[in-house]
């Protein structure tokens, strides 16, 4: 089987490539990645000759048409993925997430190639802290940020291509991922690398916003379950019952790294900051038999702390630029 993995030099895509090589001896992978600030060649180093890396843009229609035509399956991870960036400059989000997805869909339609679309729970908007509800496949779309609205738009394009053109596609909407090779702009790696650098972790607003954490390998195993056994045209939510508020996560990181649990700062809140995400993954579990393999968020977090301690060469080159960008918009707030 020949698969085209877009965004395979990013966080989730590169972990998908690693998982695929170690569990699927019959699969050859082509990565298509524009190597933006979020792409890392180091994430794909020394993987052998079952992986080919093509540096290119998913909005390049000729390149995409040729590559899609040479493969049996497209797994589409490539995106502009960071909410904070989407608030300072939305255009790359519209271009990559909407136009890029359109370009892939048209190529998959022309060549009649199976397509799996990676998306996020953020398309559903947010929940109140005390709401017993969780997102399901039937929850209406209600995105808040330029990032989540462009992801929602791309999901709707996929649904339309299935209905109107018979595209053989599936969609998954996953909750917040953590694990190795995540860019240090994101919450968990930012705080771990801050602590390594003796910088106090930074919590947005009151720190009580809740995210539903899943280890990236559990996400990617679910993606394979959908590729193998999912129904064409259907959407599956992926989540591992990992709800935690940001303050608790920062406490856990500080504790795991031998620091005082109160050693953090509150900083300026994110405009439009979603309060809570929570996934009901009953469909994935009952219809496809998927279960998370990580026993708990705490254990996955401890392993992630160890990965960043052991792989400073990987994250060091991106740390300074990331923190100077944050320093321009965020300041410490006393609470
Ligand atoms: P990431 O930012 O780490 O990686 C994105 C990758 O896409 C990078 O390698 C980048 O170079 C590449 N890319 C960006 N624009 C491109 C373009 N125009 N052409 C080709 N390549 C391009 O993102 P991630 O966290 O790994 O997210 C991957 C996917 O998973 C995204 O679709 C995201 O919406 C979705 N998702 C992420 C999470 C999460 O918690 N990180 C949760 C649910 C869903
Ligand atoms: O320094 C920080 N301090 C802080 O309190 C950062 C970077 C974030 N936060 C908060 C904001 C969120 O409540 O932590 C939470 C997580 O923030 P992010 O890592 O930026 O993730 P989020 O905005 O929840 O979106 C992530 O999950 C869904 C991914 O970036 C998306 O790509 C995915 O779709």
Q: What is the pLDDT of residues 155-173, one digit of tens each?
A: 999 999 999 999 999 999 9
222 alpha carbon, closest ligand: 1
Whether 269 is in the pocket of ligand 2, judged by its Cβ within 6 Å, is: no
Assess if residue 75 is contained within a domain: yes
Assess if residue 325 is contained within a domain: no
Closest CA to 279 of 150, 146, 120, 81: 120
Whether the CB-CB separation of 238 and 173 falls below 8 Å is answered with yes
Euclidean distance between CA atoms 114 and 74, whole angstroms: 6
Whether the CB-CB separation of 125 and 142 falls below 8 Å is answered with yes
- Determine the residue of 4, 8, 9, 12 to mutate for testing ligand 1's pocket, defined as the one with the most ligand atoms within 8 A of the Cβ atom: 12
Domain total for the chain? 1
Euclidean distance between CA atoms 75 and 3, whole angstroms: 7
**275 C-alpha vs ligand 1 centroid, how far in Å?**
22
Catalytic residues: 121-122, 147
Assess if residue 151 is contained within a domain: yes
Whether 152 is in the pocket of ligand 1, judged by its Cβ within 6 Å, is: no
- Determine the residue of 80, 147, 211, 274 to mutate for testing ligand 2's pocket, defined as the one with the most ligand atoms within 8 A of the Cβ atom: 211
**266 C-alpha vs ligand 2 centroid, how far in Å?**
15
Assess if residue 209 is contained within a domain: no
Euclidean distance between CA atoms 115 and 112, whole angstroms: 9
> Domain range for residue 293?
2-183+214-240+278-297
- Determine the residue of 143, 178, 187, 192 to mutate for testing ligand 2's pocket, defined as the one with the most ligand atoms within 8 A of the Cβ atom: 187
Whether 29 is in the pocket of ligand 1, judged by its Cβ within 6 Å, is: no
8 alpha carbon, closest ligand: 1
Whether the CB-CB separation of 333 and 59 falls below 8 Å is answered with no
Assess if residue 141 is contained within a domain: yes
Whether 217 is in the pocket of ligand 2, judged by its Cβ within 6 Å, is: no
What CATH number is attached to the domain comprising 37?
A: 3.40.50.720
Whether 122 is in the pocket of ligand 2, judged by its Cβ within 6 Å, is: yes
3-state secondary structure string, 253-280? HHHHCCCCCCCCEEECCCCCCCCECCEC
Whether 8 is in the pocket of ligand 1, judged by its Cβ within 6 Å, is: no
Assess if residue 133 is contained within a domain: yes
Euclidean distance between CA atoms 192 and 253, whole angstroms: 7
Please write down the long-range contacts of 154-161, taking CB distance under 8 Å and 24 or more positions apart.
154/79, 154/97, 154/98, 154/101, 154/117, 154/119, 155/117, 155/119, 155/123, 155/235, 157/98, 157/101, 157/102, 157/105, 158/101, 158/105, 158/115, 158/117, 159/233, 161/105, 161/108, 161/109
The whole-model pTM stands at 0.99
86 alpha carbon, closest ligand: 2
**Would you write out the chain's pLDDT as a tens digit for each of its 335 residues?**
999 999 999 999 999 999 999 999 999 999 999 999 999 999 999 999 999 999 999 999 999 999 999 999 999 999 999 999 999 999 999 999 999 999 999 999 999 999 999 999 999 999 999 999 999 999 999 999 999 999 999 999 999 999 999 999 999 999 999 999 999 999 999 999 999 999 999 999 999 999 999 999 999 999 999 999 999 999 999 999 999 999 999 999 999 999 999 999 999 999 999 999 999 999 999 999 999 999 899 999 999 999 999 999 999 999 999 999 999 999 999 98
Assess if residue 78 is contained within a domain: yes
Assess if residue 321 is contained within a domain: no
Whether 120 is in the pocket of ligand 2, judged by its Cβ within 6 Å, is: yes
Q: What is the pLDDT of residues 169-221, one digit of tens each?
A: 999 999 999 999 999 999 999 999 999 999 999 999 999 999 999 999 999 99
């Amino acid at each position: 089987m020949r698969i085209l993995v877009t965004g395979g030099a990013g966080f989730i895509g590169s972990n998908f490539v690693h998982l695929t090589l170690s569990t699927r001896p019959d699969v050859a992978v082509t990565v298509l990645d524009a190597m933006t600030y979020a792409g890392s060649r180091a994430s794909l180093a020394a993987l052998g000759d079952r992986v080919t890396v093509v540096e290119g843009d998913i909005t390049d229609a000729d390149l995409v048409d040729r590559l899609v035509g040479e493969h049996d399956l497209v797994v589409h991870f490539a995106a502009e993925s960071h909410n904070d960036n989407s608030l300072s400059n939305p255009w790359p989000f519209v271009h990559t997430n909407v136009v890029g997805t359109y370009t892939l869909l048209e190529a998959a339609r022309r060549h009649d190639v199976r397509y799996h679309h990676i998306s996020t729970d953020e398309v559903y908007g947010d929940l109140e802290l005390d709401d017993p509800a969780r997102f399901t496949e039937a929850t209406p779309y209600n995105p808040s940020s330029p990032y989540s609205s462009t992801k929602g738009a791309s999901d709707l394009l996929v649904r339309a291509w299935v209905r109107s053109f018979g595209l053989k596609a599936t969609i998954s909407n996953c909750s917040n991922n953590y694990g190795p090779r995540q860019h240090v702009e994101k919450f968990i790696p930012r705080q771990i690398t801050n602590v390594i650098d003796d910088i106090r972790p930074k919590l947005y607003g009151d720190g009580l916003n809740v995210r539903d954490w899943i280890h990236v390998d559990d996400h990617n195993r679910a993606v394979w379950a959908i590729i193998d056994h999912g129904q064409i045209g259907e959407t599956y939510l992926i989540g591992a019952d990992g709800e935690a508020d940001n303050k608790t996560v920062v406490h856990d990181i500080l504790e795991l790294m031998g620091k005082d649990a109160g050693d953090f700062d509150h900083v300026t809140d994110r405009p439009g900051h979603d309060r809570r995400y929570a996934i009901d993954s009953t469909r994935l579990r009952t219809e496809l038999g998927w279960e998370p393999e990580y026993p708990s968020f705490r254990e996955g977090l401890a392993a992630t702390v160890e990965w960043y301690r052991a792989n400073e060469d990987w994250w060091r080159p991106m740390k300074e630029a990331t923190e100077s960008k944050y320093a321009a918009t965020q300041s410490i707030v006393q609470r």
